[in-house]
Structure 1
Amino acid sequence: MAASSCVSLAEKIIKPDSPTPSSLRRYNLSLMDQIMVLVYMPIVAFYPFLTSKTPQQVSNILENSLSKVLSSYYPFAGTLRDNNTFVDCNDRGAKFMNVRYDCPMSEIVNLPDTGPEYLPFAKGMPWGSTPDDESLLVVQLSHFNCGGLAISVRLSHKIADGCTLCNFISDWASIARDDENANIPSPEMIGSSIFPPSTEMPPTGFHMDTEVDYEFYNLPVSKKRYLFSSSKLEMLKSQVTSETGVQNPSRLEVLFALIYKCAARAARSFKRSSLSIPVNLRPILDPPLATRTIGNILSFIKVETMSEDEMTIGRIVGEIRKAKDEVRKEGHVKEEKLVSLWTEWIYSMGKEFEFYRYSSVCNYPLNNLDFGWGKPSRVTIPVYGTANTCMFMDNLSGDGIEVIIVLPEKVVTQFENSKDLIHFASPVNLSARESIKR
């Protein structure tokens, strides 16, 4: 619908405003970068009608500030080389697209189920692959005929994880908002010293020891949204503590467990299941790494459930906590385990297991992305469109967590009727968001 309303498109390349020194031209990828897939990570922020800036002024501000932030994040303006083992920091630049839609922003933001995640991206493919001839960073500025705009960013997962993406866009907004006084700490580029690259495996390959259930990846799916308010999350945390003795469970621990339980039981006939969650290693490693260490500085934890009796919220929270503690005790994750865990994240474990993949960008300041014209009316990250994937984000109001979940169509009704879900969650009706009706 909105794609057919696109009436203009202009592209240009934004280069760093200062050239990268020759001594920094080679940026070696770490082990985790090597095994990461060549896809873009997407994020989009929507802003209501602007009274103080013309479309051209907005574009100029974003282009100039992007050029400045790229001087610090210079690998993002480079080119992958040598079978994707390093980045040639050649200041090739980031792609910047200016798009104008002949429709109001609400036509995209208020779409049922799919919502705003897909259309404000080139070709509607936020998780598209990163071809060799494409920029590692792609930005799209979308103008709507109501005066609203969207800023969408796609950054290659080959060189960055979610933490890096959030830091980059936050730093970019700071420079755009306060050009002269923005105090941006320099990102640290030490990933290859933390996870030395491997010379014995294909840099973009996967080591598969299990049969892949390709039918699973082609299942018809449905996307659903739910809000878990802070008060409901506190109730759930108290319930878990009283039932299991787990002290101070986090919001995400109890929410991961609840969604996992409801989704797995919605399948009606129980199947052995596995929940996989990425973990930011920066605060866990000894010594901890700076938040602005760029790259894929992560590992994965998993919870396996072998029988329906084990599918309880309390038990799952306990297993999540135990898996986190094991990562902390290890202090450093071995190559073999990283490769194995990442392989399981990408592929189902085979037809004997039902596989669930959850990601979170909670606790990052994404709802405060002020480029100089106020905070966004909505920020969101598209969830990858295969069954049993889930994205967790802080609610814009600050009251709780919003969840987007992709489910097989055949289990949606059962999932929506889950007693725990009904008790703790509220379905999100995008069309009811008055703040973004423009």
Structure 2
Amino acid sequence: MAAASRLVSFAEKIIKPNRATPLSLGRYNLSINDQIMVPFYLSIAAFYPNPSKTPEQVSNILQNSLSKVLSSYYPFAGTLRDNTFVDCNDRGAKFMNVRYDCPMSEIANLPDTGPEYLPFAKGIHDSLLLGDEDLLVVQLSHFNCGGLAIGTSISHKIADGCTTSNFISDWASIARDDEEANIIPSPQMIGSSIFPPSTNLPSTDIYTNTIVNVPIENIKRRYLFSNSKLEMLKSQVTSETGLQNPSRVDVLSALIYKCAVTAARAQANSFKPSMLTLAVNLRPILDPPVATRAIGNMVSFIKVETTSVDEITIARVVRELRKAKDEFKKEDHVNANKLVALHSENLPISNEFETYRSHSMCNFPLNNLDFGWGKPNKVTIPLIGVGFCFFLLDSPSGDGIEAIVAVPETYVTQFENNKELLQFATPMN
């Protein structure tokens, strides 16, 4: 059944903050980290199989609580101006109410995030933010089985993964405990004071155009890596490197990276220098550390370059990731010039390296998003088609990590049949 034929009804409205933003808070300055961010949406969808409310009740609860949380996150209801600041004009957030004539399982279990992927507003998950409006877009999707999905998309110009997680969690808390008067989110608007904005930045048009025009058709795959398998992988790395307690994200990123590079090499029958990039949350690294409540983009990147075949080992990649993190904490990697340089190095504008991108949302409370009808049975994040990339999420059961992997179609068969991958992974689609 085509996506269009599944649509039963569609309604759209603008949700404004329930309290007017004071004139003194009317301008929210972007930090340099916000300014250099490519303008796409960060999106998350949570699926709920058996809500205890009627569709009308769910919609009313979400709209009312969204209005309340926007009073604290008032920049999200504003308008971006000249890649310099957000005009906190209370324009509002877009809220869409959609009904589909299909069961939720048919959508929640789709392997791909292409046109058939319906929990997000049309065009949100597979394109860049082309205008300066609609910094926040929400879609409530109802399915004929009674299940529902809440899809939230926030412009990356004003939010990173930590900010997005905090916002949705605060929204859920207000929706769930609306009677509690003391539930008032307290996001900190301090990004521009830590990373002052710049008036002399290189244009990001080349980055945007490159991402939009990447001629690579991706196939999405989802895998579960159980805690027991991750412990096996960590033990293997420790025995080969001597590193104590390597992180789950590092060892899993290294495994997926190795399997991807191996698949690409097999398909091309040759090796091309490759690079793994890993997004790093700067909040705990800064001196002094910044609270997790600080909104905006407080991320940078570490990278591991692989220039020869013998460097494609999990142990070596994990060792280099640990080394890069340690150096990150020692050196001045958070000043403005360094941030711009690191960001530029990790955008797809060079043919020198094949770039593989790892993003983690592990240890964020996404599986606890209870709006008043229980926790979701599944959370997912769409991937933008920029070659090989993957998102890591805690599994809803708590037993391990789910990896959503975007693989170029040219070597997806080699990747998904990799014996080392299947030694640790359970395919989910």
TM-score, scaled to structure 1? 0.92
- Cα distance in 2, alignment partners of residues 215 and 32 from structure 1: 21
Equivalent residue runs for 1:20-419 within 5 Å: 20-50=21-51, 52-81=52-81, 83-114=82-113, 118-132=117-131, 134-181=133-180, 183-202=183-202, 204-205=204-205, 217-267=214-264, 268-330=269-331, 332-350=333-351, 352-419=352-419
- Cα distance in 2, alignment partners of residues 31 and 215 from structure 1: 23
Identify if the C-alpha distance between structure 1 residues 416 and 64 changes in structure 2 by more than 3 Å, giving closer, same or farther: same
Contact 1:40 1:127 in 2 (8 A): no
- Cα distance in 1, alignment partners of residues 270 and 211 from structure 2: 20
- Cα distance in 1, alignment partners of residues 222 and 413 from structure 2: 14
Identify if the C-alpha distance between structure 1 residues 115 and 368 changes in structure 2 by more than 3 Å, giving closer, same or farther: farther
Letter of the 1:333 counterpart: V
Contact 2:234 2:246 in 1 (8 A): yes
Q: How many percent of aligned residue pairs carry the same amino acid?
A: 69
Aligned CA RMSD, in angstroms, stands at: 2.1
- Cα distance in 1, alignment partners of residues 412 and 124 from structure 2: 24
- Cα distance in 1, alignment partners of residues 258 and 212 from structure 2: 23
Contact 1:42 1:381 in 2 (8 A): yes
Identify if the C-alpha distance between structure 1 residues 279 and 174 changes in structure 2 by more than 3 Å, giving closer, same or farther: same
Q: Alpha-carbon deviations, 1:316-368, whole Å to 9, x = none? A: 00110111111111255132321222123331531x31111111101001011
Q: How far off is 1:202 after superposition?
A: 4.7
Q: How far off is 1:205 after superposition?
A: 4.8
- Cα distance in 2, alignment partners of residues 183 and 157 from structure 1: 26
Q: Alpha-carbon deviations, 1:281-325, whole Å to 9, x = none? A: 001101100101000011110100110101111110011011111
Residue in 2 that maps onto 1:433: none
Contact 1:66 1:172 in 2 (8 A): yes
- Cα distance in 2, alignment partners of residues 298 and 287 from structure 1: 16
Letter of the 1:388 counterpart: F
- Cα distance in 2, alignment partners of residues 405 and 236 from structure 1: 19
SS at match of 2:293: coil
- Cα distance in 2, alignment partners of residues 176 and 144 from structure 1: 21
Letter of the 1:139 counterpart: V
Contact 2:127 2:212 in 1 (8 A): no
Q: How far off is 1:148 after superposition?
A: 0.8
Q: Alpha-carbon deviations, 1:67-86, whole Å to 9, x = none? A: 110010000001111x1200
Q: How far off is 1:206 after superposition?
A: 5.6
Identify if the C-alpha distance between structure 1 residues 213 and 140 changes in structure 2 by more than 3 Å, giving closer, same or farther: closer
Letter of the 1:100 counterpart: R
Letter of the 2:308 counterpart: S
- Cα distance in 2, alignment partners of residues 217 and 205 from structure 1: 14
Contact 2:259 2:415 in 1 (8 A): yes
Contact 2:111 2:222 in 1 (8 A): no
- Cα distance in 2, alignment partners of residues 424 and 17 from structure 1: 49
Higher mean C-alpha displacement, 63-72 vs 352-361:
352-361
SS at match of 2:256: helix
- Cα distance in 2, alignment partners of residues 149 and 254 from structure 1: 34
- Cα distance in 1, alignment partners of residues 210 and 186 from structure 2: 43
Provide the aligned length of Structure 1 versus Structure 2.
423
- Cα distance in 1, alignment partners of residues 137 and 348 from structure 2: 27
Letter of the 2:70 counterpart: L
Q: Alpha-carbon deviations, 1:70-107, whole Å to 9, x = none? A: 010000001111x1200011111101111111221122
- Cα distance in 2, alignment partners of residues 184 and 232 from structure 1: 40
TM-score, scaled to structure 2? 0.94
SS at match of 2:346: helix
Q: How far off is 1:201 after superposition?
A: 1.6
- Cα distance in 2, alignment partners of residues 261 and 133 from structure 1: 39
Contact 1:230 1:400 in 2 (8 A): yes
Higher mean C-alpha displacement, 83-92 vs 412-421:
412-421
Higher mean C-alpha displacement, 242-251 vs 114-123:
114-123
- Cα distance in 1, alignment partners of residues 69 and 102 from structure 2: 31
Letter of the 2:383 counterpart: V
Q: Alpha-carbon deviations, 1:32-57, whole Å to 9, x = none? A: 1111122111110111133x311111
Q: Alpha-carbon deviations, 1:407-435, whole Å to 9, x = none? A: 12221222123232121111113xxxxxx
- Cα distance in 2, alignment partners of residues 313 and 146 from structure 1: 44
Q: Alpha-carbon deviations, 1:3-26, whole Å to 9, x = none? A: 321121111111111111111101
Contact 1:117 1:380 in 2 (8 A): no
Contact 2:14 2:94 in 1 (8 A): yes
Letter of the 1:366 counterpart: L
Identify if the C-alpha distance between structure 1 residues 17 and 194 changes in structure 2 by more than 3 Å, giving closer, same or farther: same
